[in-house]
Structure formats: structure tokens, C-alpha cells
Chains A and B, each alone.
Chain A
Amino acid sequence: MKKATRMDEIDAAVNKFEPVTPNDEFYVDFKNLRGDFQERDVMRILNVTKPDGHYRFNYQPNRSNKTLLFLAGMRGSGKTSELAKYAQLLHSPGCFFVVTCNVDEELDMDNVQYMDILVFQLEKLLQKAAEVDLSISDDILDSMNEWFQERVKEINRSLKAEGSAELEVGNENPFSVAGLLGKLLGVTTKLKLGLSGSYERAVAIRTTIKNRFPDFSIKFNTFIEQTNEQLRREGKGQEVLFIVDGLEKTMSATTRRAIIMDESNRIRQIKANTIFTLPIELMKEEQHIRNFSEIITFPFIKIIDRDGSTVQEAIERFEEFICKRVAPELFDSLETIHLAIRYSGGSPRQLLRIIEQAGWQADTAVGQITNENMRRAIDKLGNATARYLEPTDFDILKSLKTDLDAGNPIGFNSSIQNLLEKEIIFEYNDGTYKRVNPLLEVSRLYQHRVVGEA
């Protein structure tokens, strides 16, 4: 990633396709600017303290408690970057051994289910353990390996009966990792590959493991505990922390709901510290989810407060966000930068989109993005946003406008959910503070159908 110092470099610099991690030069920490969301709440839930300036996890009081945390947020709010930050902050000998699992990048299958994610988590843990030469005893590995080999035999018996191709898991180690660890890694990788293969194979694997789930959870949990012990012995971490990103992109909304609601028993049986990203639409099941996990909302950055006042610190942080990517000389004034920030609504992704569009409007011969370019970009994006409005949305927006003008908190229902998902409205603080996407507010359709008729 390179900062744009010329007009033709802007496109690459405002690329919204690559998540930014704390090590990147573009990274900006929006700490304390997401309303009620505080990083310290996440740390508290994870039982992490910072007694000497470094994050520490004390495993003793928490031996039997494992944290399961769902981080819920709108698309483009910066969840992936935030989780990458935690991965970096918390991965240390005195804290966690963090294992990041990007479900959307690495699980190539349709209809991902919870079982698939568990197999994937195990595979990632084994890979990471191999990378740091973690000496897990042969007995432990043998025990796991035997259990999985038996499962593979069951799976293959099932596939053979159906006339499907069997799963090939040999005793030779095809991977570069030596010994039993390599063998176990080989098994889990093959299982994962099998899950992304034919439908019949995926069903056979899932069914077999689900039918043995109590045993699977004992094996898995025991293995995690044994790994935790070894991590502590070798000074590589206090416990394993899984960060599972991308869950919200998988599955249909129905299946996601089924996982959270119906699979919650299985989820509860797994004793490993895990942070999942939560599909935003499942926030309405918050009460149910709190029966077996913690849940935190990760809102957009608040740039305008309820009373209409500007949050100056947020504006300044967004200035930093822009100027790290695009040299300020490529804008005709600070006011032009502020215009983009105002219309971002506090969404980093929307801000990048605005600047990208403004860059397309600009005359490269002029060599700057002008205020007029920015206004045109905002106008175009506003009308584009309005394209997604359906007739029933207008009544909700009119009622929302009335509540907003009166300063009332906005509750939650499925219509509001629909508007949140379409980025028609944005959510801040604990979710009760909502505003209409500022881009939509400038659209001709909104002005006519909502403002005009309200």
C-alpha cells in the first residue's frame, strides 16, 4: 500500500478491498470514538488486564471459563481491522496464543456449517503450533490422530456405500511438518478439503462428526487444554484464543440463524476462547445469544452527536485516515476533505468510496480533487444509494426522521434491520442512536419522498 502523491495513485490508495492491519502505514486507531464501544470492554470480557502496560491473561482464575464473544457490526465498520489489532495486541507469552481463522478466504465451500468451522479452527491451530515448533507430546497427538483416523474410516465406509470416491488420508506425511503433528495436520486438512468437495463427501464428513460430537468435543477440548499447558511451559502464551472472522459472510441468513439458535448447544460444548464476528441481523436474537456467550456491538465512528454537535476528535482522526492514504496537496482545501468526512457518516468504507468517486470526477490536468468534484461525487453516490430503496422504506424513513428530529432513541425491528443492512441508516453507540446515511439524505428521491412529504 502506497500513499498517493499523484492523482493516478489515488485509486490504489483508497482500495477498500484489502483490510488494514495495525502494521500497515494506513492504519488508524479509532479508539474511543465509537460511542459506547470501548476496547477495554472487549478486554474485560476476555479477562485480559494491562497491569504493566502489556496485556496479560491470568489463566488461573479462568481455567474453567472460556470466553465466547460475538462482535457484531455493520459492513465496512472496520471489524476485520479491529480484530487484526486484537490479534497483534494479545498475541504474546503473557497473554494469548492467537489463531486467526478467516472463514471467507480459506473455507471454499457453499453452505458452511459450524462443524466445518471447528475442523478449520483445529487445522489452523495445528499449523500455527507447527510454525512455532510447539512440542505437543506424541501421546496427545497419537490420541487425536487415532480418533480422526477412525472417523475417516467411518466416512469412507459411508462414501463407499453410496458409490462415492473415498477420502484419501494416508499414513505418510505429505506435508513439511514432521512427525505426528504433521500427520494430524494432514488429516484435518484433508477433512477440510473434503468438506469443500462433493456434496456427498461433505455430508458424510459432517454427519460422521456430528454423530460423534460429544466425543469430538471431548477430544477437541482436551487437546486445547493440553496445548494450553504446553504453550505455558514453552512461554509462548497462556491460552489459545481463536479469532474467527468472516462468519457473517457465510451461509444464508436462515442458516446463520440456525447455527446460532440450533447449534448453540454444540457451540456451548466447545471450551476454547473464541471471538466470532456476528451477522448484524442476529442482533435481534441478542437475548438468546447471551445465554451462551457475550456479545458486543461494534458501531460506526460517531462524527455527529445526538444533539447535532460535531465530534471534533472523530473528524481529526478521519483527517489522519485520509491524509495517510492521500497527500493533502491532492485536495484543493481542508474543507474538501471535511466534506467527504461529513458524508461518510462515520463509515471508513463509505469515506473511501467517496474519495474514490471524487478522484474519478477530478480533472487529472488540474491535479487536485476540488470541492466541486467532491460535491458531484457525493451527489452521484447519494442517488446511487437511493436506488436500493423500496416503496415500503419511505414510510419507515419518514417516521425515523420524526423521531430523529425529536431526539428520540430508535429501537429495533425487522424493518430497521433491513435498512441497516442496505446501509440506508447507520447505527452508533449501543445501537439506539441511528441516523440516515448522509449520502442518502442528499438524493433527489429522499428529498422528494421523505423530506418533501414528511
Chain B
Amino acid sequence: MEPQFDDELQQLKNALRQPTFRFILIGHNRYSLYKDIADWLRATFPERTPVELRLAEKDYRHINDELLTLKPGIVLIPDFGWLFKEGNESICVAFNQRRDAFARLDIALICFIEPSEFVQVPKKVPDWWSLRSLELDFHRETPDSTGEFINQELEPSSSLGGQTREEKQAEIQRLLRQVETTEPENKAILAALYSQLGSLFFDLSNYDDANTYWQQSLAMRQQIGDRSGEGTTLNNISQIYYARGDYEKTFAYLEQSLAMRQQIGDRSGEGTTLNNMATLSYARGDYEKTLAYLEQSLAIRQQIGDRRGEGTTLNNISQIYDAQGDYEKALVYLEQSLAMRQQIGDRSGEGTTLNNISQIYYARGDYEKALAYLEQSLAIQQQIGDRRGEGTTLNNIGRIYIEQQQVEKAIPLLIRAYKLFETIGSPNSTITQGHLNKIIAQIGEEKYNQIVQSIPSDSVYPID
């Protein structure tokens, strides 16, 4: 995990060093943080392998019985915030009442919540809160990706200006020149140019400039009554806030976008915005809402025959089931998504879905199958020149090799992934860098450099 979390992880380690009861609250803004913390705990406390206990949709009796049958150890509750939902008051009450009974068990409960849910804890389970052992906040700027939830983001698509950073910057210059030469009264064109500039800056993770241009585009589109464009831009602006972890604002913009698109009957746009709302709910761990949005999005896309969108949504639905540990269902949706994408020749989507299927097998510990799917995904992505996809898949293959203690195989792949991400200006480079740092920490810099030096120049994954 990133060095910025060292202090929090040290506190967590100290809090867990005695095998006694603990009630620990962890606020996190990305689902990937839960996974990473869980992995870290498994590595740090191998003799007390953490078990996962989910609360969603269970009644108090069920939760009580599960807790009482747990062996002494570390228990991760990824959806502790579910307790605070409307309708769960009696579960909170019962859970609160039994604090002292549970506190006699030698289990360390590590409860994951959204940052905004901290204030609910003293209200809903005040006696648990009173006995809290530790509260930690983990905040990650970069959006979850690298084989996780696929977010259909912008319109126009991010194929604007090519794929590399240089190509996109060149396109930015071209567009700026066009802006200079466009008459100020020609708002429609200016709005479109600003929109493209926003997209390009967003692709390069320059959110300030992206926001500036999209806001200008929005203002113009409103002035000229371009409601379709307005809906699109509102959707786009939401992604800036999403990328920054400001979910409140993300939601506000998505709501506006949705309302606009519904008003004007832009069904395709509506499907997109619903998909993005699903992404937001997913990031918040609200799987119920996520599914609801995705199902709405799917229905619309099926109705209007948007098969590309349909493939995306089927893929996204699978991620919910994946997150809930229902791998069977996740696979069903992934297979549907894959079939759809293969049918319509959506190679990029096909590569993504193959990557996601590999994640199911990875989660199940079936590394052989996971690798097989990743290799299929990689072949497609290299064929079509999908650098972002290629970087993702290389990263994921590297991760499996790390799990299998094959760091010599992992390093060249991760370096290639890192370079790809850097080239296209993707924030995922931080994640890949993190994997490399872990390896260095594990084997030492000297050994790492030796391995890097030994990579043949004509290898499948050349180092530039």
C-alpha cells in the first residue's frame, strides 16, 4: 500500500498485536482500499488469517449466530455502514445491546465505513462506539481501476487526441488554436471545443483545467439552449468530482445530468448517466443502489438497442456480485457481457471482460485460470493498441506472479505497465509503482536492480 498509509497501518498493527477483543473503525473512500487493507492484514498476521463477515440483508439473529461461531481472530466487516440504513434500526439496537456479550470474545472486529458514516456510529450503536479501540481514515485519490469496476466515463470518448500523452497534448494545442480563431459569438463551436479540451485534460488527470473548460462549455451550452450538450457536460463534470472522491458533488451533477437527459428523452445519455450513478454507489459500498441503477441502465440500453452499452452494463453488474463474493453470479454476467461484446466486435470491451473474468478466478485463488484469461485479454489489447487496457492487464499478471512468489517474472511486466500508464498519463501508474515498491521492500534494491538489468532487450515486454 502507498507510503502515505504507513502511519495508519502501524497503528492498526499495534492495535492488533494482542489477540483480544477490538472494535476498530476504518473509513475509506475507495473499495480497493478495503481489499488492500485485507491483503495487508493477511500478510501481517499470517497466524490469524482474517475472515470476512458481511452484514447486508441479514437479520440480527443471523449476525449474532455468525459472530458467536467465529474462532478467535480478526474479522473484517466490509459493509458495517449497512447497519445505519433506514429500516435497520432494530438490528442496530440489538447489536448495541449485546456489546458486552460480544466484547468477551477474542475477536478483533475491523469495521469498514464510508468517511461520512463516522457520525452515524455514536448515534446508531453508541455503546459500541464508546468502547472503540481505534478509528482510522484511508483516502485514496486515484479512482479504482486496474481490473476493477469499469466506468464508461465521457462523451466524446477518450480516444480524443490519440492515446499517448504527447499526442493528447498536441491535440490540446490544436484545439486552443482553434479557440483563438473562432468568433466569440459562435458559442456552439466554442462549447464543443471547450468540451473536447475538458476531455483531454481529464484524460491527462489535469482536473483543474478539465473543470475550467467543461464549466465554460456548460455555460455556453446553457446560453444557447443546447440541452443535450448540457446533459453531457454535467455528466462529464461529475467525473471530476468522482475522481477526487467528492461523492456529494458527483451525485449532484449526475442528478442534474439525469434529469436533463430524461427531460429531453436522451435515452442513450440516460443509460450512461445511470451507469455512472451506479459507479458512485459502488464506490460507496451501496450495492443495492448500484444494482438498481445498473438494472435501469441495462433496461434502457436493451430497449434502445445499445448493445455496446449493454455489454458494459452487464460487465458492471458482474462487479457487484464479485464485490459481494457471489462469484457464480458474477461469472454469469461476465459471460453474457463477453458474448455480447464478441458478437458486436467490441474488442476493447472484450479485453476488459476477459480481464474481469480473470479477477474472479484470482479471487478464488485459481491463479492458473486467472492467468489464462489475462493472457487472452492481453493478446487482444496489444492487437488493437489499447495501451490503457494493456497496462491494466500487465499489472494484473504481475500481481499474480507476486502472489506466486515469482518476482522475476513480475518485474518486467510491472515496469512495462508502469511505462504504459505514464505514457498515456493514467493515474494507475501509482498502483503499479506500489507493486514495484513492495517487491523492492521484499527483495532489496540490489536484487531488484540485478533483475532489471537481466531483462533481455528482445523480451516480449521490452523496456524502452
A residues at B contact (CB < 8 Å): 8, 11-12, 15-18, 75-76, 102-105, 107-112, 246, 248-252, 255, 349, 356-357, 359-361, 380, 384, 387-390, 421-423
Contact = CB atoms under 8 A, between A and B. Distances in A.
Q: B interface, by DSSP: helix, strand, loop or mixed?
A: helix
Nearest to B27: A387
Contact of B94 (A76, A103, A110): A110
Nearest to B89: A252
Interface in B63-98: 64, 89-94, 96-98
A74 to B, nearest CB: 9
B126 interface: yes
Contacts of A387: 27, 118-119, 135, 137
Contacts of A75: 126-127, 130
Given A75-B127, A104-B97, A360-B11, A422 B122 contact: yes
25 contacts: A11-B17, A16-B131, A17-B21, A17-B103, A75-B126, A76-B130, A104-B100, A109-B94, A246-B97, A249-B99, A249-B100, A250-B96, A252-B89, A252-B90, A252-B93, A357-B134, A360-B14, A360-B15, A361-B14, A380-B11, A387-B118, A387-B119, A387-B135, A421-B126, A422-B122
B100 A246 contact: yes
Q: Which 4 A-B pairs have the closest CB atoms?
A: A110-B94, A360-B14, A75-B130, A17-B103
B212 interface: no
B82 to A, nearest CB: 16
B101 interface: yes
A195 B20 CA distance: 31
Contacts of A251: 93, 97
Given A111-B93, A111-B94, A360-B15, A15 B122 contact: no
Contacts of B131: 16-17, 349
A391 to B, nearest CB: 10
A446 to B, nearest CB: 15
A251 B126 CA distance: 12
Contacts of B135: 384, 387
A344 to B, nearest CB: 14
B112 to A, nearest CB: 15
Nearest to A108: B98
A41 B357 CA distance: 70
Contacts, number: 91
Interface string B39-65: 000000000000000000000100010
B133 interface: yes
Nearest to B96: A249
A423 B130 contact: yes
Nearest to B21: A17
Interface string B91-128: 11110111111011000000000000011011100110
Contacts of B20: 11-12, 15
A12 B18 contact: yes
Contacts of A8: 17-18
A5 to B, nearest CB: 16
Interface string B129-143: 011011101000000
Contacts of B127: 75, 104, 248-249
A229 to B, nearest CB: 34
A361 B10 CA distance: 9
A249 B89 contact: no
B97 A250 contact: yes
B303 to A, nearest CB: 42
Q: Which of B93, B99, B134, B135 has the most CB of A within 10 A?
A: B93
A250 B93 CA distance: 6
Q: Which of B90, B98, B131 has the most CB of A within 10 A?
A: B98
Interface string B295-326: 00000000000000000000000000000000
A340 B198 CA distance: 53
Contacts of B97: 103-104, 107, 110, 112, 246, 249-251
A380 B14 CA distance: 14
Given A104-B100, A349-B131, A388-B122, 10 more contacts: A17-B100, A18-B103, A104-B97, A110-B91, A110-B97, A249-B96, A252-B93, A255-B93, A388-B118, A421-B123
A113 B129 CA distance: 23
Contacts of A356: 133
Contacts of B137: 387
Contacts of B103: 17-18
